[in-house]
Structure 1
Amino acid sequence: MHQEPDFFHNLRQEFADGWRWVERSIVLAYAAAAGLCVVAFTLLSNLAFEWFMRLYHWHGGWAVLLWTPALTAAIVWATRRWAPGAAGSGIPQVMAAQEAALTGAQRSGLVSLRLSIAKIVLAGFGFLAGLSIGREGPSVQVAAGVMHHARRWFGPRTGITGHALLVAGGAAGIAAAFNAPLAGVLFAIEELARKLESRASGLILSAIVLAGLMGVSAFGNLTYFGRIQVTALGWDALLPGLCVALACGVLGGLFAKVMAASLTGAPNRFNRLRERFPIRFAAAGGLVLAAIGLVTEGATFGAGSEAVKHMLAGHAEVPAFFVTLKFIATWLSAWVGAPGGIFAPSLSIGAGIGHNVSLFAGAAIAPALIAMGMAAFLAAVTQAPLTAFIIVMEMVDGHAMVLSLMAAAMLASLVSRMLARPLYGALAQHMLKMALPAPEEAQGGPARQRQ
């Protein structure tokens, strides 16, 4: 026979261990600090990109042909010199840092408070250079570094593990960057941890929500692309929506495949040049990025939010080949080794795919197809369809597209899995391979054979 819970007995037990409440307070305080760091990073990124656009609009924009290559080379040099763990998105670093076999020093090379500061500064300069990057992936590493710093306050017998803090911090970064706590929770389950530790799950979720509220408090319920107004969809949207989802699945899978091959050092001539002359390679990549930006009249610079707003408004300024050039610009920005994420640029590419299909399907359903493209391409690149669906759903005014967005994200993710491995998982495995010695090296196998 099951006994009913005794409220007063449980209440006394809950407050009997005062140190447990101190630990909880520490975690929540760090969660608030992580959210505020993401807010500061957002403000810095926006200001830096605003300054870049002023430079771009100065005398026809030709100055960027010197500015972008020079600053990109400087960013890569500084990253390799002082903070190599800050390169790239930041999400693979947080995933790799959860490996139990890492030493404290190895984990600090992936996630730490020092790296969080470096990530904010270097990624801010990336926006100042006009690179095709986003701030969501870096926000994951920034918040995870802040949250993991709380581990020093806990003893060995605590129920709050370093793994739990990394998961909470990474998800808090997504929640604060997108002003979407629910997306942060799903990101923690779907991408970072696959499951939450039951002993600390409530505290982790509270930390994610609190960090997300920091972003909402600072910026309101805003996103990169504003609120997307959509109307109820009929059967006439079925075929165009299917085309968008399939196209996003194929292109997103190819994007993930190309990114993994480039960033894991696949043997080819360009990767050998990148390894031998990283600063010159970065400068050359910056020059190509500047040229692409000039060709597209600035549409490929930064996250691509202005281009998406033009698409949603029905303006024709966005070139028809925006998808291809934004694809290349985002890939190059990551390949040169500069700190920066791919979430927001992926949303822009997906929006471009939806926009292109809407040119044939009609303007009436264009906003809906653009929203579906955003969810589908992000899901295909990350192979995290639930997170992609929730992020885009936050941008849609009303619930007319809930099922459409979910179906597009699921289908695109399924197609992508047939073409490429999960991108962040592949990059995290590569980082672990570089950080940890091979089994035979750890056991001294080759050395013993030579003796």
Structure 2
Amino acid sequence: MQQEPDFFHNLNEEIRDGKRWLERTVVLAYAAAAGLSVVAFTLLADAAFGFFERIYQWNGGWLVLLWMPAITAAAVWATRKWAPGAGGSGIPQVIATLEPSVDASLRKRFVSLWLSFSKIVLSSTGFLAGLSIGREGPSVQVAAGVMHSARRWLGPNSAINTHALLVAGGAAGIAAAFNAPLAGVVFAIEELSRRLESRSSGLIIAAIVLAGLMGVSVFGNLSYFGRIRVQELSWNDLLPCLAVALTCGVLGGLFAKLMTISLTSSTERLNKLKSRFPIRFAAALALLIAIIGLVTGGATFGAGSEAVKHMLQGEADVPEFYVTLKFIATWLSAWVGVPGGIFAPSLSIGAGVGNNVASIVGTTDIAPALIAMGMAAFLAAVTQAPLTAFIIVMEMVDGHSLVLSLMASAMIASMISRMIARPLYESLALHMLNVAKASMVLPEPPAQDQTGPDSQAQDSDLMPEDVVEEQPARQRELEFDAQPDAEARDAGNTPRS
């Protein structure tokens, strides 16, 4: 029979353990610093995109045909030169660091204070270029890097381990970026740790609270997209709701598959071209994104948050093919190699699907509900994390009355996506780990005489596809596919330890 807790004895033990309180103080200070980092990132990204909008509005917007390739090429060059670990979304990097096989020397390639700082600057440069990227995924890597750096002040026998710090940082990043604390908790469980240990739950919640408070103190405690008002859905609205969920499931699955192929398949002809001429490749894709932006009247530039707000308010001014063109612009922006996320662009694509369905059925009463469901469904299909997706959208639109509808649309879309594509972030994380491990054992490449902006002569300059290109194709295939733990996680059977 278990003995009842002795309150006064336990209180005395807590007070007397000064080392534990010192460690807690350090961790809480870093949690606040993580929140401030996300706030600084938000302000810098918004200012950068505001400057791009002034460039676009000047002289008919044609200047972006030169501006976007130039700024994008500079950002890709800087990323490859000084912070290759900052490329991409940032969520796969954090997932990669949580693998049990990753040691300290490998972990610093994915999270560190330098990478957090680089992520803020380089992602903001992507917004300055007008690319279709988001800041929410990068916020995860930024906050995780800041929280992870607290480990240096903790003793070797500390109960607060590296795994807990990384999960808490990633959760705090999502919570602060979206002003969605519940989404941060669910994201930590569903996407990062796969389970929530009781000894880590307090740290995660504390990090979310402090990081969230930093954001609220600057931006106010407001919903990301305001509060939507919708009439009660009836059985007559079932078909439009199913149409949104099914369409988003298929499109999101295709998007995840396309992203995985583009970012991991080094045998493709275009990826070989990217590996050989990365700067020119980035400039060419940026030119295509600029043309798409001009065709859509600027609607596809940036994260797309303003377009979503207009749709929810019934003032949508997006072009007829917004969903298709935003889909392409977001894919190309991710393929470019500039640090940037896909959360916010995915929400805008899903909102476009909901808006299109509402227009087809000719209803305005349930249009906001269809738009919100489209946001949750497309994000769930891309990430295959339905709980995180519907809670993010619920908190962003203050849509507690739509909980069941958002949950159902996210679950349906995620289920369809799993029939089409592997989990996106898991696949990218596994690819990054294989590349990082391969680069640690490969000999240094011989010095080349090639000069110019595309020449990369140092190992630190190599991006993932460059390193994998030097491995035999069969070896890469075995490394990528023969991963029983990863396959089990994809099936949802084996939790990450």
Q: Structure 1, residues 404-430: CA drift from partner, whole Å, max 9, x if none?
A: 001111111111111111100000000
Residues 122-137 of structure 1 correspond to what in structure 2 (within 5 A)? 122-137=122-137
1:382 to 2:383 alignment: yes
User: CA deviation digits over 1:193-237, x for unaligned, max 9?
Assistant: 111233232122211222122212221233553333322212222
1:50 maps to amino acid: G
Superposition CA RMSD, Å: 1.8
The aligned residue for residue 4 of structure 2 is 4
Question: Do the aligned residues in 2 keep the contact of 1:159 with 1:200 (CA within 8 Å)?
Answer: no
8 Å CA contact 1:230, 1:396 repeated in 2: no
Partner of 2:337: 337
Task: Within 5 Å, give how 1:309-320 maps onto structure 2.
Answer: 309-315=309-315, 317-320=317-320
Cα distance, 1:339 vs. partner?
A: 0.4
Name the structure 1 match of 2:431.
430
- What amino acid maps onto 2:232 in structure 1? A
Within-5 A mapping of 1:160-175? 160-175=160-175
Question: Structure 1 stretches of 5 or more lacking a match?
Answer: 447-451
1:74-97 superposed Cα distances (whole Å, 9 cap, x missing partner): 100000011000110000001111
Specify the alignment match of 1:228 in structure 2.
Answer: 228
Q: Distance in 1 between matches of 2:186 and 2:48?
A: 30
Partner of 1:180: 180
Residue 449 of structure 1 aligns with which residue?
A: none
Give the whole-Å Cα distance in 1 for the aligned partners of 2:7 and 2:42. 44
SS of 2:132's partner is coil
Q: Are 1:250 and 1:415, in contact at CA under 8 Å, matched by a contact in 2?
A: yes
Q: Is the 8 A contact 1:230 1:397 kept in 2?
A: no
2:306 counterpart of 1:306: yes
> Residue 264 of structure 1 contacts residue 427 of structure 1 at CA under 8 Å; is this kept in 2?
yes
Give the aligned partner of residue 406 of structure 2. Answer: 405
Letter in 1 for 2:395: E
Distance 1:241 1:352 in 2: 14
Q: What is the distance in 1 between the residues matched to 2:199 and 2:101?
A: 22
Is contact 1:112–1:149 with CA below 8 Å preserved after alignment?
Answer: yes
Counterpart-to-counterpart distance in 2, 1:12 and 1:284: 66
Name the SS of the counterpart of 1:32 in structure 2: helix
**CA distance in 1 between partners of 2:401 and 2:256 (Å):** 30
Check whether the contact 1:86–1:110 (CA below 8 A) recurs between aligned residues: yes
Aligned residue number for residue 104 of structure 1: 104
Q: Which amino acid aligns with 1:294?
A: L
> Match for 1:36: what amino acid?
L
In the alignment, the residues of structure 2 paired with residue 54 and residue 222 of structure 1 have an alpha-carbon distance, to the nearest angstrom, of 27
Asked whether 1:415 is paired with 2:416, we answer yes
In 1: Cα distance, 2:180 partner to 2:213 partner = 8
The answer to whether the Cα contact below 8 Å between 1:28 and 1:210 also exists between their aligned partners in 2 is: yes
Give 1:4 deviation, angstroms.
2.8
The structure-2 alpha-carbon separation of the partners of 1:77 and 1:201, relative to structure 1 and needing over 3 Å to count, comes to same
Once the two structures are TM-superposed, the CA of residue 272 in structure 1 deviates from its matched residue by 1.0
Aligned-pair distance for 1:265? 2.5
Q: Give the Cα–Cα distance (whole angstroms) in 2 for the partners of residues 54 and 417 of structure 1.
A: 41
Instruction: Tell me, yes or no, if the aligned pair for 2:171 and 2:204 is still in contact at 8 Å.
Output: no
Q: Does the 8 Å CA contact 1:293/1:300 hold for their aligned counterparts? A: yes
Instruction: Check the 8 A contact 1:122/1:339 in 2, yes or no.
Output: yes
d(CA) in 1 for partners of 2:344 and 2:433?
A: 26
Q: Contact between 2:178 and 2:396, CA under 8 Å: does it hold in 1?
A: no
Mapped partners of 1:229, 1:333: distance in 2 = 33
Cα distance in 2, alignment partners of residues 439 and 74 from structure 1: 27
List per-residue Cα deviations over 1:223-281 (Å, max 9, x = no partner).
55333332221222211011100100000000000000001134221111111110000
| Whole-Å separation in 2 of the counterparts to 1:315 and 1:185 | 33
Q: C-alpha displacement at 1:308, in angstroms? A: 1.5
Quote the Cα distance in structure 2 between the aligned partners of 1:312 and 1:438: 47
Kept in 2: contact 1:257–1:421 (CA 8 A): yes
How far apart are 1:316 and its partner, in Å? 5.1
Superposed displacement of residue 396, structure 1 = 2.8
> How far apart are the structure 2 equivalents of 1:316 and 1:20?
54
Identity value in percent: 73
Number of the residue aligned with 2:393: 392
The answer (yes or no) to whether the contact 1:133–1:344 under 8 Å persists in 2 is yes
2:400 match: secondary structure = coil
Q: Which residue of 2 aligns with 1:347?
A: 347
Higher mean C-alpha displacement, 425-434 vs 310-319: 310-319
How many angstroms does 1:399 deviate by? 2.5
Aligned residue in 1 for 2:145: 145
SS of the aligned residue for 1:332 comes to helix
Deviation at residue 330 of structure 1 after TM alignment: 0.5
1:325 counterpart = 2:325: yes
CA contact (8 A) 1:231 1:400 kept: no
Amino acid at match of 1:100: P
Q: Which residue is 1:76 aligned to? A: 76
Deviates more, 1:92-101 or 1:173-182: 92-101
Q: Could you tell me whether the CA contact under 8 Å between 2:227 and 2:399 is conserved in 1?
A: no
Structure 1 residue 58 displacement after superposition: 0.6
**Stretch of structure 1 that moved more, 124-133 or 431-440:** 431-440
The residue type paired with residue 41 of structure 1 is F
Deviation at 1:317, TM superposition (A): 2.3
Q: Aligned AA for 2:261? A: A
Distance 1:394 1:204 in 2: 19
Distance 1:266-1:226 versus aligned 2 partners, 3 A rule: farther
Q: Deviation per CA, 1:1-58, whole angstroms, max 9, x where unpaired?
A: 4433221112112223111111111111100000010001001111111111011111
- What stretches of structure 2 of length at least 5 have no aligned partner? 443-471, 473-497
| Superposed displacement of residue 307, structure 1 | 1.6
Give, in angstroms, the shift of residue 106 of structure 1: 2.0
- Which residue of structure 2 aligns with residue 368 of structure 1? 369
